[in-house]
Structures are given as C-alpha cells and as structure tokens.
C-alpha cells in the first residue's frame, strides 16, 4: 500500500481531531516563554522554576481526573471541558506578577488544561486500528509540530511588544479547540460506572511490567524534554540572543518534525521498536552536551537538530507502543497513568533543573545525559514475552 493510500484509510473523525489539534498547538504561546515572563516581572530564575514546576504538579491532578473522565464521560466532553476552562485560567495568569500567585494559577491551569490529553490519545486508539497507529500518531504530531513551528516564532515577536498577547492568543485557540472537540468529535469507548474506577486500572497496571518500564523511561525523558521550555530559553537569552531568535530556534523543532517525521516513521516501520526508542532517547538527552563546546547560535541550531532527530525516532513510536500495552476498556486511565510519568519528570526538571542551571549549566547538561541513559536501560530491560502481551 502506498504512503498516500495509508493516509486515506485513516478515518474522518481522526482528521477532525488533527485539524483542531493544529489550531490548539499553534496557540501554545505561554509555556515556552513562561520562565521569561516570570523573571521579567522581577522574580529569580529559581522562583520561575518553582512556578513552572507548579504547572507540572497540576498535571498530576489532570492525569488522575482526565483519565477517569475520558473512560467514563467520553473523549469529546473531556477535551471540551478541559480546553474551555483552561482558556479562562490562561487569562487569569496574564494578570499575575508575584511568583507565588503565578505558581498557584499555574497549578490550577495545569490541572485543568492537561486533563484533555488522556482523552485525545485514547481517542486515536479508539479510531485507528493497531497496524496504522504509528502512522496516525506521526500525522497527529505533524499537526502538533506544524503549530509548534509557527506558534513560538509568532510568540517571540509578540513577546517583544507585550507578554499579555501570548496569554490572549493561547486562550482563544483553546476555545476553538474545545468547541470543535465537544461538538464534532465522537465520545469514543466509554466504560461502565462500576469498571471505570482507578482501582481496576491499577490492578492491571501493576502486573504490566513492560508498561511500568516505559513509565520509568518517560520520567527520565520528561526531565530532558522539559528543559526545552525552561533552561533552554533562558540559556538562549543569557547567551545574548534576542527574543525573536529564541522563538525561531524553538520553532526549528516543529519545522524539522513537519518535514521528516511521517516519512521517517514509515521508513523505520520494520525496525525493532525498543531499539528505535532507545536511539531516540539517547539522542535527545545527549544533545545538550553540545553546549560544553559552544553557546553560539550555531551550537543552538546543532543542538536542536540532534534533539529533534531523537524526538522523531521515539515519540510517535512510543505512543503506539504504549497503546499496544493498554487494555481496550482502560485506555483513558492507562494514558492518564503514563501522564503521571511526564508530570513527575516535568516537575523535577522545573524545580531542580533551574536551580542546577543557576549554579552551573554544565552540571545540568550532564545530569540530563545520565537520565537519558537510564531511560535506555529501562526500555531495553523487559523481555520479549512481556512486550508481546
């Protein structure tokens, strides 16, 4: 089957989700510039790190709540509520100055906004058969990163005039996504009330060793990935690069993914899943070591290129791998539980990584590389029999 024929078999509802996701991701203006917004209001880098960590802490609530809502109430309702309520939170954050107030609002925003993620990932599993999921997740990430490639570049220019517009556009695109999700997307697989609790899901998860190994790897990977939204923008600024170039460097990630991830996913389709994941993990984590050699604009371009190649190798394949380990009636809760790994890694990276960066950036780059190696060892640790299940 040709490449375009495979795209054609993906269902219409999936393409609606992809289109809405693009609009939403184009408007993710606040998170990449959150630490800069906080420090420019007179707070320290460490305080900015704690405020950013609060957003990740809110993700713990989002994973628990969003996973249950996705399985019990439906994917569309969950995404709609999370996006519409999240828009209100974003506007509230724009009015805060003190880092403690920002931390509280960031926690609430993270708890509400991120609750839609389990529903989105579970809906792809509902709509797309297993043999097409790597392609489907690659296409969805194309939409995410097309928005990401255009969004931060636009946000960088807006931030030079007023940070308020970052929050306003972010909120507006969340409203658009919320309306589309609620009205035009299906509810997906819903679980009966007596089977929708977390107790049933936990009994399944604790016996799923391959999924738990993936969970541990994702904690490490989340630490590495979070630095692109915390330490990296700050390192760009402290290296003397203007805000619009910061936005362009961040946008490189999305541009490269848009051009190459879908073909790469098809080209690596026959490669062993865990080896491709391991390659991606180590490339992402080791990319920051480039800063030991230089912190010039060229170094940032090389670093982002290596990081993005690793991301393309691992992310869509990782989502499909996680889906293959999830029972059909627990998809929302499995995605929610895996989101806890990202919350833990994001929170630790924001709260501990930023003080480490303030103390000595080189230490942070080394810790990052070590965590990437740990992720590789975890993902390669499970036996073939466990993966097959």
pLDDT digits 0-9 by tens, 290-343: 999 988 889 999 999 999 999 998 888 888 898 889 888 788 888 888 888 988
Share of the chain above pLDDT 90, in %: 26
Task: Write down the pLDDT at residue 301.
Answer: 93
Mean of the pLDDT values across residues 177-190?
A: 87
CB neighbour class for 182 (10 Å; exposed up to 12, middle 13-18, buried from 19): middle
- Any idea which of 150-164, 171-185, 268-282, 300-314 has the lowest mean pLDDT? 150-164
- Any idea which of 109-113, 212-216, 374-378 has the lowest mean pLDDT? 109-113
How many angstroms separate the Cα of 103 from the Cα of each of 100, 108, 135? 5, 9, 38
Handedness of CA 300, 21, 222, 350 (dihedral sign): positive
pTM across the whole model: 0.73
Residue 152: band (very low, low, confident or very high) from pLDDT cuts 50, 70, 90: low
How far is it, in rounded angstroms, from Cα 210 to Cα 202? 14
Instruction: Please say if the pLDDT value at position 202 is more than 90.
Output: no
How far is it, in rounded angstroms, from Cα 309 to Cα 161? 33
Task: Write down the pLDDT at residue 385.
Answer: 40
Task: Write down the pLDDT at residue 228.
Answer: 86
**Tokens 């996705």, residue?**
70
pLDDT digits (tens, 9 = 90+) for 88-134: 988 998 888 888 888 899 899 889 988 888 888 889 988 988 888 88
Residue 221 or residue 156, greater confidence? 221
Task: Write down the pLDDT at residue 378.
Answer: 95
The answer to whether the beta carbons of residues 282 and 224 sit under 8 Å apart is no
Mean of the pLDDT values across residues 150-154?
A: 73
Residue 160 or residue 172, greater confidence? 172
Considering just the CA atoms, what is the radius of gyration of the chain in Å? 20
- 21-388 is classed in which CATH architecture? Up-down Bundle (1.20)
């Amino acid at each position: 089957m040709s490449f375009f024929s495979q795209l054609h078999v993906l269902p219409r509802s999936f393409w609606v989700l992809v289109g809405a996701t693009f609009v939403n991701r184009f408007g993710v203006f606040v998170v990449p510039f959150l630490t800069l917004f906080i420090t420019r209001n007179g707070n320290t880098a460490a305080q900015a790190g704690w405020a950013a960590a609060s957003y990740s802490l809110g993700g713990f609530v989002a994973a628990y709540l969003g996973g249950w809502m996705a399985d019990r109430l439906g994917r569309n309702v969950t995404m709609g509520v999370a996006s519409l309520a999240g828009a209100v939170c974003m506007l509230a954050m724009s009015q805060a100055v003190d880092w403690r107030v920002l931390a509280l609002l960031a926690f609430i925003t993270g708890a509400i906004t991120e609750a839609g993620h389990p529903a989105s990932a579970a809906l792809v599993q509902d709509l797309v058969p297993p043999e097409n999921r790597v392609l489907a997740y690659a296409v969805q990430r194309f939409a995410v990163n097309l928005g990401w490639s255009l969004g931060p570049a636009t946000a960088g220019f807006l931030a030079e005039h007023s940070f308020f517009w970052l929050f306003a556009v972010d909120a507006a695109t969340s409203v658009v996504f919320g309306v589309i999700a609620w009205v035009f997307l299906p509810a997906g697989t819903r679980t009966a009330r007596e089977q929708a609790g977390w107790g049933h899901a936990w009994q399944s998860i604790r016996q799923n060793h391959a999924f738990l190994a993936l969970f541990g790897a994702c904690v490490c990977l989340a630490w590495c990935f979070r630095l692109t939204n915390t330490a990296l923008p700050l390192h760009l600024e402290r290296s003397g690069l203007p805000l619009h170039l910061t936005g362009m460097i961040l946008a490189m990630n999305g541009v490269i993914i848009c051009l190459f991830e879908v073909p790469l996913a098809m080209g690596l389709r026959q490669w062993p899943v865990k080896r491709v994941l391991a390659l991606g993990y180590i490339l992402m984590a080791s990319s920051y070591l480039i800063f030991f050699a230089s912190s010039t604009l060229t170094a940032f371009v090389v670093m982002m290129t290596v990081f993005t190649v690793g991301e393309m190798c691992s992310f869509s394949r990782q989502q499909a791998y996680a889906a293959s380990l999830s029972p059909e009636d627990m998809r929302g809760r499995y995605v929610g539980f895996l989101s806890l790994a990202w919350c833990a890694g994001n929170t630790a990276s924001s709260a501990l990584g930023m003080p480490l960066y303030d103390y000595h950036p080189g230490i942070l780059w080394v810790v990052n590389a070590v965590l990437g190696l740990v992720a590789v060892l975890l993902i390669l640790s499970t036996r073939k029999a466990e993966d097959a299940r």
